[in-house]
Amino acid sequence: MSFEGAIPEVYERYTVPLLFRPYARDLARRLAERHPRDVLELAAGTGAVTRELAAVLPRDTSMTATDLSRPMLDRARALPLPRPVRWVEADAGALPFPDGSCDAVLCQFGVMFFPDRPRAFGEARRVLRPGGVLLFNVWQALGANDFVAVTEAVAAGLFPADPPDFLSRVPYGYHDVAAITRDLAAGGFTGAPRIETVARPGRAGSAQDVATALCRGTPLRDEIEARGGRTLDEVTRAVGSALAERFGPGPVEGPLSALVVTVTR
C-alpha cells in the first residue's frame, strides 16, 4: 500500500474535495473550540486538515503536521498556508517528540492505516499533556458511503477471481465502536471516548471525477494495476459509468458517513 507516484497529485485534486474537505472543516472547528496551544497532526496527507487548522487557529498556536509518506508531505508543503507549519516525516507508532509536548493530537482518516493502533494511540497519549485531547475520525462502513460502495462493487465485478478490496479492508474497515474503544484503552486512555456519527454530502463535478478520485487517487490504484486483464483506464471508465447511472453524470452528490472520536488524557 503506497501513496506515491501519481497518487498524491490526484489525491489532492480529486479525493480531497470529494471526501476529506467537509470533514477537515468539522475537525478544525471542534479543535479550535478547545483553544489548544500546541497541535500535532498525524497522517496529514496533502494537508487537508492542516489548511483548515491554519485558517482558524490563532497564529501563536504551534502546529506540527506529520505523515509517513514523503511524497504526500511534499505535495502538502507546496500549497500556500497563511501561517507557519512544521512538517515532519514521522511514523505514528514511533513519534519523534518528547513526552507531554502538546495539548492536542489530531488525525483525519488516518488511524485505519496504522498497523498497530494501540501502539499509535499510546504514542499519542505519551506526547499529550494531562488534560490534552486526541481527536480523530474514521469512515463508517461501505454501506453508508455510496460512492465507495459502487466503486468497490464495480471493481469486484471486473476482477471476479481476485476482487480488489482495499477500500473495504482498510479505509472503510475500522468502524466498530467496541474495537475503537478497546484499542484506545490498550493505548493507555482510561476515560471513555466520545464517539459521534457525522454525515456530510460528498460532491464532485462529475461521476467521472468521483471514479478518478477513488480509482486513481487511493491505493486501490495499486490493486487494480497489480491484476491482469483490465487496465486502470478501463476500470476508471467502468466505475464512472456505474456512478453516472446511479447519481447522474454530474454535478453529483452522495452521502458520506464517518465517526468522530474524542478522548482526553
Q: Is 101 strand, coil or helix? A: coil
Asked if the model's pLDDT at residue 80 lies above 90, the reply is no
pLDDT for the residue numbered 64:
98
Asked if the model's pLDDT at residue 1 lies above 90, the reply is no
Taking only the tens place, the pLDDT of each residue in 180-206 is 999 999 999 999 999 999 999 999 999
Taking only the tens place, the pLDDT of each residue in 198-245 is 999 999 999 999 999 999 999 999 999 999 889 999 999 999 999 999
The two counts, helices (H) then strands (E), for the chain are: 11, 7
pTM of the model: 0.94
Residues contacting 193, CB < 8 A, separation 6+: 180, 181, 184, 261, 262, 263
Secondary structure letter of residue 56 according to DSSP: H
Full set of structural domains in the chain with CATH: 7-264 (3.40.50.150)
Asked if the model's pLDDT at residue 2 lies above 70, the reply is no
Taking only the tens place, the pLDDT of each residue in 85-134 is 999 999 999 999 999 999 999 999 999 999 999 999 999 999 999 999 99
